[in-house]
Structure 1
């Protein structure tokens, strides 16, 4: 469920007309619904009720400070994968003891940063990283709480570019070698193994891969405890999918996901951490764009819009589907037109959809890309020297721009021409 509905023939974000936002902000832009963010976060807290737990929002899915602050004030932790994301979480008011640091390439500089300001745990991805963190923590005279991300070799049954739990993926340490890695942690100074971490991929629409992975984690927990390690926390990652196509069957609900957690690891007495991103923010945001031209092609018509692959890269990168709807509600029973929906960037890959049936549109009309709140603005670029597009947050009948569109002058001023030119 989201809060983007037609009212009096106009698509609204909660109680705000998208045409009103477009008139003040210009197109294209992203808009997020406070009510949807709150509701989706609440679904996860409900799913884990009665268990000691922390829901850590995956900052990589949407890193806007206003979104992070909103979730942080609801009690969310944060899952970060870079020093920059850590700084964002801190700037949004989330305390270090609610931040977990994931990612395969943590630098010593990043380690020093988070150890000096506070961290809940490092999710270690490799033995070289483990040894580097031991050296940094020892130099600083502190102890770093750590988990080891184990790779359970489970097929997440998702897009190849966002699967992370197979043996050929770059993430984690093979689960078969976990006991020897934890033994080395116990022998190293400056490290305290507080738990186990696992994350098998993103946009999962089947609970069985979670069940397989968590069953292996439960077995490993018992083995490590038998070896003398105080395993008291399980970071089970994120990855639960969302319905990008409303005509498709809905993915599993958080309450069903929570039941899998209870059945597989619920008897271990561990604190549970999860790291959802897409399910919290994905359907909480849309991208609104304007039609520049309707172009008649050879055997097809093109809807050329003022957003492009630099604004929303998922279709170009993942062949991803987004439902695309007119902002002005079509009349019932109107004949459909078929369009390839494309942007103005000089690449054929700048295509959002092919052969999409929609009500007929014309230049100046507005359309909305649904389910764009995750991996949308956060992955945007200024390719073709196109300014990043604004982000807007709605709460009830209010809206605020939470990231301005930069001017061309601001873009140009970031470059420096050397004196010899």
Structure 2
């Protein structure tokens, strides 16, 4: 394909729109060298870390090839990345709130969270999280000397507005005029919950009342499944002093090609301008190329992926009911992550870790499934309070791999409870 052909393909958004999850064989996947496929032995089916078993979206691959063919591998420049996100947000969420002058390139979402929290909190200050929540929140923030305070999700795995307000109130009484922040995950990792406009508005109202600065990790925003709707945090009333962190990483499987954007509400623009210049240089130029292409031209591929994930979400429910009848399955509204309640297996209690290697820390049911079923899932305890006895399963794979994995898990669970 010539550079002109590549530009034409990207401009029209054409390309293979078959289910990307069915494009690669197990043999092809086993040749991959990324963390998902190299952490465990070859007989293990890896459904743990947040990588999808898909090829690159054609518009993204074309953009990368064109850059490499031109030797265009220098430093990122310009505002096209932010402009591409603005266009995507307008098309997909009917949101016109991406202000280019309040957007900054950052290395990735998690490093962006650390850098933004450095702007609005000091060492030792509290940062509220809604547990169970993405395990690196604990590791990165603890290593950066912030104090994590949990405001757990409700029993329905949704934000508990009353619990958040009480946490904010208590922290304000304790800290006086000190700085307080809240790191929000939406769509929520690991539960797949997509927070509603009303839930987010309640968070914003409480945050304004008690002087809490909200940072919203919205990395899974492109992956909202049928039946749910994504609400950008910066679109809700009261979010004017908040931040959003967005990236094409999860929607188009670009974790190894790093780039992201930090977006500031109008009252937070001055804080964003204080971010050190070197932070903006941390993103990969090819990452910016790939993410920009995804936002500009990746809609059709994303739609095909979402249809495949929706089908897998339904298949997983059927497989759990058949092979793991004692296991609770919370049908996710977004992401490609399923939260399975395995407490009925009666395994020993688990203790969490704050080490950066936490993603590979196994206990309880996850250890059982790895050792007895040769299926790798993420251990629930690493996600904080409410996680013990659960596992997180990545269903962004082929139907055949998903079916084989859950069947194996069912056999292991049956042997354990016999």
Shorter-chain TM-score range: 0.3 to 0.5
> Larger % of strand: which?
1
Considering Cα pairs closer than 8 Å and 6+ residues apart, tell me whether 1 or 2 has the greater RCO: 2
Q: Which has the larger radius of gyration?
A: 1
Alignment TM-score, normalising by the size of structure 2: 0.35
Alignment TM-score, normalising by the size of structure 1: 0.35
